[in-house]
Amino acid sequence: MRMLFTVAGGNGHLEPLVPVARTAKAVGHEVAFACRPWMIPKVETLGFLAFATGSDVGLTPQRRPLVKFDLEHEMQVVGRGFARRIARERALGILPLAWRGNLI
């Protein structure tokens, strides 16, 4: 089976999926990742095929200190940033990959 993992962000989104992807690959599945263009080298370094989906526009990856949790702020960020912009943009890039056989 061919399996497609998707990563919306950076390393924090990729790293939890790596053990699952490695296990799938070890038992004979074809594994690929769909991610932002800047993540392609990282995914390939881990030994996986990678497809660029979405863009890096407006993205400056950087680690920041944790801030006090604010549910209302998080809902705004997730709603505006992920649900409206990133998810829609990424879906457009993932759909053509889904038609390449049985990528799931």
Domain harbouring 85, CATH code = 3.40.50.2000
- How many domains is the chain partitioned into structurally? 1
pLDDT in tens, 19-36: 999 999 999 999 999 998
Q: What is the mean pLDDT of residues 3-32?
A: 92
DSSP 29: -
From residue 40, how far is each of 62, 78, 89, 99 by CA, in Å? 17, 23, 17, 21
Is there a domain that residue 76 lies in? Answer: yes
* Beta-carbon contacts of residue 2 (< 8 Å; ≥ 6 apart): 29, 30, 31, 32, 100, 101, 102, 103, 104
Is there a domain that residue 61 lies in? Answer: no
Q: What is the pLDDT of residue 83?
A: 74
Domain extent for 40? 2-56+66-98
Is the pTM higher than 0.95?
no
Q: What is the mean pLDDT of the chain?
A: 83
Q: What is the pLDDT of residue 59?
A: 63
Is there a domain that residue 104 lies in? Answer: no
Is there a domain that residue 103 lies in? Answer: no
Is there a domain that residue 90 lies in? Answer: yes
Residue 70, number of CB atoms within 10 A of its CB: 10
